Amino acid sequence: MSAITAQKKYTYNDYLLIEDEKRYEVMKGELIMVPAPFTIHQRILNNLSFFINKYVRDKKLGEVLVAPTDVVFADDVVVQPDILFISNKRLDIIKEAAIIGSPDLVVEIVSPSSASYDTIEKREVYEKYGVKEYWLVFPQEKAVEVLAIENGIYKELCKARKTGIVKSNVIEGLIVEIKEVFEG
């Protein structure tokens, strides 16, 4: 992922004025074009969002949204996580056009072209703005890594590769079978 401009510092208002059909994020004032995901990405997104959403709805814990949903952390930081969860206590951050503030949980499905962007830059942003839990999904490895904020820093909560489970502390009781995430 790279910035498409090196001159102008973009704000959320500038971002809203873009009139093409491409997907963008604003990272520290730089406009980043987000390419369309591959079909493997979309299958994983469907599977994982289904499991998380069903659990959250059945337990009436909050709301789950999927990309493209804008999350505005600051005027110069706007991202579109693949999946996000907001607990009942914090539903007021959901506005008509975007999420204004930090979701409780964010999921990014990492493609080879976005690996450093998702694992370094976005991780730093999510950590800085206090996203309590960050799930990284690696399709090629069939792996999921769950990071949780501890004293303001992400620590590994759990991870699994090809088999096994991952769990969430933020969505209490949520357990996901890895095999089911990568089916399809």
First to last CA, the chain: 27
Q: Per residue in 41-94, pLDDT tens?
A: 999 999 999 999 999 999 999 999 999 999 999 999 999 999 999 999 999 999
pLDDT(2) > 50: no
CATH superfamily for 36-181 is tt1808, chain A (3.90.1570.10)
Residue with the larger pLDDT of the pair 21 and 142:
142
Domain boundaries, the chain: 36-181
The tens digit of pLDDT for each residue in 6-31 reads 457 999 999 999 988 888 999 999 99
The arithmetic mean of pLDDT across residues 154-161, rounded, is 98
How does residue 114 score in pLDDT terms, banded at 50, 70 and 90?
Answer: confident
| Band of residue 34 on the pLDDT scale cut at 50, 70, 90 | confident
Q: In the predicted model, is pLDDT for residue 127 greater than 50? A: yes
**Predicted pLDDT at 7:** 56
pLDDT score at 5: 46
| pLDDT mean over 151-172 | 97
